[in-house]
Structures are given as C-alpha cells and as structure tokens.
Amino acid sequence: MRKFYNRGDLLDSTTEFILKKMSNPTERRPHILLITTDQQRSDCLGINGNHEVETPNLDALARNGVNFRKGYVTCPVCIPARRTLISGMSPDSHGLRRYLDGVDFDPPATLPGCLKEVGYQTELIGKLHLHPQGKRYGFDNITLSETANWRPDHPHQKRNDYVRWLQEKGVTRHPTFQGIGSNSRLSAPWGMDDTLHWNQWVTDETVKLFQQRRDPTCPLFLHLSFFHPHPPFIPLKHYFDRYLEKDLSGPVIGEWAKQGEDARAAPDAVAGPFDEGTMKRAKAAYYALINHIDDCIAHILEQWTNLPDVGNDPLYIIFSSDHGEMLGDHHLFRKSQGYEASAHVPFFLSGINVDLPSMETDDFVSWEDVAPTLLDLAGVVIPPSMDGRSLVSYLDGKEPDDAPDHIFGQCFGRFANLWVVNERWKYIWFAKTNEEQLFDLQNDPRETRDLSGTNTENLQAMRKIMEGHVSGREDVTFDESALSPCANQPPKVFWPN
C-alpha cells in the first residue's frame, strides 16, 4: 500500500531515528560495502543457473551468505531505481516512474545520510545518476562517472571523473571512439591499454580509497557502483575472445514475439526482429564485461582483507543491479519492461568476518529493501519514509513470515507497462494500448507462451491485484472492459503493424 507523508514531519522524525545509537555504545559498527552493477540480469550469475558466464568470485560470495533468487526492481530503468536505492522509497513515493533526467531529488532520508549521522565515512565510487549532478545525498565524497562516454555538452552529465583521469594520463581520445552508443546492441573490443578501461578505473579508485583516503577511526560505507555491463559493449579483448570462442545460446524468442530476423533495425532499437549473429556477439561482450567485473571485485576484496588495521572487523556486502537487459530475448533490447530479463536482478547479502548462513530463498525482495537492511545492520533504526523492509532476519538462517506475496512494478514512457508477479504468475498491462499478457513462471520461466487468451481464471485474479495498486490514480485508468489480451500474439505496443 502506498504511504503518504508530510515532509516536515518526516524531517523531524528522521533526525530522531538516525541519532539513535546502538544499545552498546562501545560496539564497533560494521563496515558496509554496497556493490551494484548496471543492467545485469538475474540469470547472469553462475549461482543463478547460468553455465555460460564465468562469475566464480560473486558465486562464492553468494554461497557464503543469503542469495535472494527473486530480487526485483520496481521501476527497471536507471534513475527511478537509483532514487529507490538511496532513499528506500518506492517509485510511487519518490515520484519518478520513468526515465527522466534533470529532475531535482530531495528525499527526507538517504542511506548514506543516515550512516553519516552515526559516524560512518560515506563514499561513492562510480555511477550515481541523480540530479543535480554533484549533489552528495549524504556521501562525504563522490568519485563520479555516470557513463564510459564523454559528454561534455550534456545538460545533466557534464562531470565525468573517469574522463578527467584519462586526460590527466595524457589520453585525449574519446573512450568510446568505436562509435558504439550507450544503448547500442553493437559490440567491439576495447581499443586502448587494458589499464584504462572503465572497470579498471573504478577498481583502482576503490583501492586508493582503502589505502589512502580511508579514515581508520570510523567504519566505512562504500557504494561501489559499476557502470557496466550497461552498453557500450566494449570489453577487454581477452575477455571478449573468451566468449566469442564459446558456443553461446541465442536469445529466447517467445511464441508471442514477432518472428524472423532483420539486421536493418537501428543499433539502439528497442524492438526487432534482430539478427541472431549480432545478438550472439552482444551476449559475448555482455558476458565479458560481467566476467571482468567479477575479477575486479575479487581484487578489491583481496586488497581490503590485506589492510593491516582491518583485522577481524566485520564487513557486510550487498550485491545487486539496477535492472536487467532484454539482450534480444523476444526480439527486444534494453530495459524498462516487466519481463524477467529486464526487471529480475541478482541480489545477495554476504560479508567478511561475519557469521552468515549459507542459504537461498525464493522470497520476494526489491531495491526498496536495500537501505532498510543496511541501516539495520549498522544498528540504525529505519526512518519512516522508507517503504522497504529489513532483510536482517534472514541471517538467522530461516525465512521470516513477513515476505510480500507479490511484487508490483511499473515503468512509463514510450512502452508504458505495469506488472505484477507472484509465486507463480506474471501479469503485464500496457497502459497505452490496454493490452495484457499472462505468463506461468512455474512452468514457463522464460516467458515464451502468453496465456492471456486462454487462462481466464488466473488472468482475472492477477487483474484484481493490479487494480489494487492503480485504483484511484489519476495518471492511468484500469478499465477491465477496455482490456485486450494479447493472446500469444505480438503486442502492438512494440509492433504496431
């Protein structure tokens, strides 16, 4: 259910909450590492069943903690998701339900702000993607690069500390000189020295923080925010070659998708059909970027554990991604959709020098839960503005009884869609065309057959759940008499002709 607050009341109550100390004032608060990637699907970790991509380090971390196999982002596109991450607020609460840059964001409480108030050194390295650019939202310091692209004339992304670092090293060439854009399905190997790649830069900056800028007298909160595997798909050559040599599977094409192949679609097109060769190369580059990140994380954690003053200090780690990537599945590309490839993300809680159960769960979690969980781990009472729940109770090795029975998601714009997923069913409603789809995830986890035209009973049940989330809203009208089941045919929202 949506929660509405008076901002002044929230500011007063938030101050009261975050100033509360742990019950034992001499207790050392744990260090916290929040690692996020950008545009990484849930099924792109080995531990989540992918036998093509190599992620041994992340898999080991996940095995040594709690792996949430049903992690979702409730608005699967960059800025709304990142608002949710930093504030713990749902899209309905923080007010952004689509990709829209240049909009000020001033939440009543933030994860880094709450941690800073109780004595943490709070740092961000990598992507933040909030407005105005440079606002710290409670971080003591931000080392900022929203993208591997250099955009000096962009109205909202002029600052890029990565590009500044390249220039300090005498590199004046554009880092994406291949001409591959930030939403392109095209791919090419990285064309400069390996040490200049974006992944390597953010890794080196993190190690510098550990060794040179860290305050040893207080706990550290670091948001390590990777821009990749978001396009441009320009991995290091030896990683790219590794996956080009593999016999990778092609995209999953549902019965309901437009069939055939067509290489003429624009490089950044959302809907195909796409030719399989281009998409297989895109997958190879995408996997290569993930593999590189996996190795980077291993190096970062090795450097952390080698710090002489860390010793037995507890470190908690959450790993997740802001949304997935369709990657040619159903002849769709990019994100923003309620399909599993787009909205379902990796999500696990692990750590170093902490006692954690080794377990997996199918309970639903979302990005609303990240901030409450990390505040709870730090001994900070969760501010009332946060919509999510703490996941700390899972550290007892049991599944608590407060897990939601479904997730509601939405993303507006050209392909406005709202969706509901429960233990078995996925319902998608396209608000502009009133089309709808229904998938049986238990028997069809890759969403290849749309049952909206045949399974009336479950379609009606999922409609009622959707109606509970959107009734009373002024921006959409959910009129059952106007709904049009796609009935396993291509949605007109993607293929109007």
Same domain as 464, residue 327: no
Helix (H/G/I), strand (E/B), else coil: 36:
strand
Which structural domain range is residue 357 located in? Answer: 7-404
The answer to whether residues 358 and 422 belong to one domain is no
Calculate helix-pair angle for 370-377, 78-87, nearest 10 degrees. Answer: 30
Q: Counting runs of H as helices and runs of E as strands, what totals does the chain give?
A: 12, 14
The count of structural domains within the chain is 2
Could you say which of 78, 114, 411, 486 is catalytic? 78
Query: Looking at the structure, do residues 310 and 444 belong to the same domain, yes or no?
Result: no
Is residue 399 located within the same domain as residue 424? no
Beta-sheet pairing, 66-72 with 359-366: parallel
Beta strands 31-38 and 417-422 are unpaired
Phi, psi of 252 (to 5 degrees): -85, 120
List phi, psi (to 5°) of 284.
Answer: -60, -45
Name the amino acid, one letter, at 349: L
Domain boundary among 368, 384, 404: 404
Look at residue 411 and tell me if it is in a domain: no
Q: Please check whether residue 290 is in contact with residue 44, taking contact to mean a CB–CB distance below 8 angstroms.
A: yes
Structure tokens at 277: 């060769």
Q: Are 428 and 314 in a shared domain?
A: no
Alpha helices for 432-481 (secondary structure H)? 456-470
Residue 339 sits in the same domain as residue 307? yes
Other Cβ atoms closer than 10 A to 335: 27
> pLDDT tens across 300-348, in order?
999 999 999 887 899 999 999 999 999 999 999 999 999 999 999 999 9
Check whether residue 371 and residue 430 sit in a common domain. no
CA 428 from centre of chain: 20
Residue 428 pLDDT > 60, yes or no?
Answer: yes
> End of a domain among 369, 404, 439?
404
The CA-to-CA distance between both ends of the chain, in Å, stands at 38
Same structural domain, 125 and 261? yes
Tell me: do 244 and 358 sit in the same domain: yes
Would you state the structure tokens that stand for residue 56, as one six-digit string?
A: 């041994």
In the residue annotation, 114 being an active-site residue is answered as: no
* Position 201 in a domain: yes
The active-site residue out of 31, 44, 75, 129 is: 129
Domain boundary among 381, 404, 427: 404
Residue 371's domain is classified under what CATH number? 3.40.720.10
**Averaged confidence pLDDT in the chain:** 93
Q: Which residue has the tokens 């992690």?
A: 71
Strands 344-345 and 66-72 turn out to be antiparallel
Q: What is d(CA 203, CA 249) in angstroms, rounded to the nearest whole number?
A: 30
Total residue count of the chain as it appears in this document: 497
What is the token pair recorded at 390?
A: 């703490």
User: Do both 379 and 450 map to the same domain?
Assistant: no
What is the average pLDDT across 267-289?
Answer: 96
Q: Report residue 423 as tokens.
A: 């233990």
Is 131 an active-site residue? no
List pLDDT tens digits, range 179-224.
899 999 999 999 999 999 999 999 999 999 999 999 999 999 999 9
* Inside any domain, residue 495: no
- Assess whether 389 and 455 both reside in one domain: no
What was the pLDDT predicted at 102? 87
Evaluate whether residue 491 is within a structural domain.
Answer: no
Evaluate whether residue 409 is within a structural domain. Answer: no
